[in-house]
Structure 1
Amino acid sequence: MNKIIRVLIYLISGIFFILCAFVGYAIFTLPDVTELIDTNPTTTSFIEYRKQEAREEGKTLRIHRRWIDWQYIPKVLKRTIVVAEDAAFWVHEGIDWHEVESALRENWEEGKIVRGASTISQQTAKNLYLTPHRNIYRKLKEFLITKELESRLNKRRILEIYLNCIEMGEGIFGIRSASNIYFGKHPSQLDISEMVRLAAILPNPRQLHPNQSSPELAWRSRTILNRLRHYEFITNSQYREAKDQLQNFFDNRSVTSR
């Protein structure tokens, strides 16, 4: 009996030591996010990953990315992205535990992963410093970097970086390049229906296209528009106008899966 207890103690101690080493290494290798306070990132880990991915396929990926400062991003566009991706962004501390709980419950009920719960802060951490690969170590690094971003940067700066680094299509990063490539406009010239369609592609930007109709794009676009009205980020007249524009867009294009 004593021998079994000793073995268990050694086993638990070994596991604890490995976990401590695991966490310690993750903390030791954390990036210095303070440079982001007043310096815009010239590239991201995610961009470099996509370029390497293309090289391995014998291709050269042309990157479209132009920075746009906070003050030139329309308020409605900021709000559209936030309600689409992370409605609690301004109040959580990097992790939305309510969304995590809801996602875990829904995925358990479905028996597969049907939704995630990554916040804008987590997505920013991933885009800047990590890759799409999913494993325990990467999730730990994402969590730690997210907490660093939240403690060193204010919410406005995190959102500004996110809006300039988020993947929005094949080689397209940030809302300025996306607005120009998809609509031939500066973000300040977009109407609400166009903003909504841009936000709608974010969960799957390499499959969805804001100018190519699909059932998923239609559903997400209308959901986002309804959220904008629910939170009173747009007026009733703006809502009706955008709703009509979306209706015309989807009616004039055959809604088929890509």
Structure 2
Amino acid sequence: MDDLSYGAPPPRRRKRIFLWLLGLLAVYLVWEVVTWPDVAVLAHAHPRTTAFIEKYRGWGIFGPKKKVEWTWVPYSRISPSLKRAVLVNEDMRFFSHSGFDEEEIKASLQDAWTRKSLPRGASTITQQVAKNLWLSGSYNPLRKVKEAILTKQLEADLPKRRILEIYLNVAEFGEGIYGAEAAARHYYHRSAAGLTERQGAELSVALPRPRSWHPGVRSRGYQREVRYTLRRMAVARWLWGEI
């Protein structure tokens, strides 16, 4: 017997395996097409829930296991201070890029090296909207591909301010606290429209790690980031014209 062919499946079996895998791929692609979200509808309709909210809630026999604080408010009823704070921390070039910001990836790494800290998130706000609404927090390549496609669709179908409005309404600001209005009511007992510059900075700093960094925590690192955010906001006055 030829050593090179020892243990190899016969041609017919290889063909069956290939056809079986091809069939699985076809089923998967059909499933993705059928369940793919309607991105364009978000131009005039608010999402009823998000993937992250549903994951947090959990569902049992008698309904959701955890309570969520979430109230949608229009863009005009969110403080400009919070918008500016979120932009300087999360996506400074949001209004100029087309969904992805390669410069921010490089800048975040350089900034982390200078300040001897972990790099801030390099995902754009549009990418985070795609992830929060429809995907998960996993880092598998397939999820990243889907995120990239959805990001391009969001940028093509929605104006920038609408994307920012959605983000500010679905982002997590603490355990079970989603959106600017719920966060403002929970931490400051006021509406999102009435947030001050410092309050906007405090909430924006919570975004990368909302379960541990949020208004009220006694963390030197958190307070340091709030002060740093306020300094960046003072420099980025030009954002007033964008928001």
1:44 corresponds to which letter in structure 2?
T
Rounded to whole Å, the distance in 2 between the matches of 1:212 and 1:233 is: 31
Q: Does 1:78 align with 2:79?
A: no
Distance 1:101 1:30, change over 3 A: farther
Q: What do residues 57-105 of structure 1 show as CA deviations (whole Å, max 9, x unaligned)?
A: xx92111000110111122221111111111101010000112344578
Q: Does 1:206 align with 2:211?
A: yes
The offset of 1:201, in angstroms, is 0.8
Q: What do residues 155-187 of structure 1 show as CA deviations (whole Å, max 9, x unaligned)?
A: 010000000000111111000000000111111
Q: What do residues 132-155 of structure 1 show as CA deviations (whole Å, max 9, x unaligned)?
A: 122000011111100100000010
Q: Secondary structure at the match of 2:173?
A: strand
Q: Does 1:189 align with 2:194?
A: yes
Unmatched runs of 5 consecutive residues or more in structure 2? 1-17
Report 1:151-162 matches (<5 A). 151-162=156-167
Q: Secondary structure at the match of 1:168?
A: strand
Q: What do residues 103-136 of structure 1 show as CA deviations (whole Å, max 9, x unaligned)?
A: 578899xxxx844310100000000000112200
2:236 corresponds to which letter in structure 1?
Y
Name the TM-score, length of structure 2 as normaliser. Answer: 0.77
**Structure 2 match to 1:39:** 45
Q: What do residues 5-61 of structure 1 show as CA deviations (whole Å, max 9, x unaligned)?
A: xxxxxxxxx9xxx9xx79x94974532101101000110111111122x86xxx921
Rounded to whole Å, the distance in 1 between the matches of 2:194 and 2:79 is: 9
RMSD of aligned Cα (Å) = 2.9
**Structure 1 match to 2:184:** 179
Higher relative CO (Cα under 8 Å, sequence separation at least 6) belongs to 2
Report 1:205-244 matches (<5 A). 205-232=210-237
The offset of 1:220, in angstroms, is 1.2
**Deviates further, 226-235 or 146-155:** 226-235
Name the TM-score, length of structure 1 as normaliser. Answer: 0.73
Report 1:87-98 matches (<5 A). 87-98=92-103
Mark the structure with the bigger radius of gyration: 2
Rounded to whole Å, the distance in 2 between the matches of 1:233 and 1:48 is: 37
Tell me, yes or no, if the aligned pair for 2:84 and 2:239 is still in contact at 8 Å. Answer: no
1:69 corresponds to which letter in structure 2?
P
Q: Secondary structure at the match of 1:148?
A: helix
Q: Does 1:144 align with 2:144?
A: no
Tell me, yes or no, if the aligned pair for 2:81 and 2:196 is still in contact at 8 Å. Answer: no
**Structure 2 match to 1:99:** 104
Rounded to whole Å, the distance in 2 between the matches of 1:106 and 1:214 is: 21
Rounded to whole Å, the distance in 2 between the matches of 1:228 and 1:195 is: 10
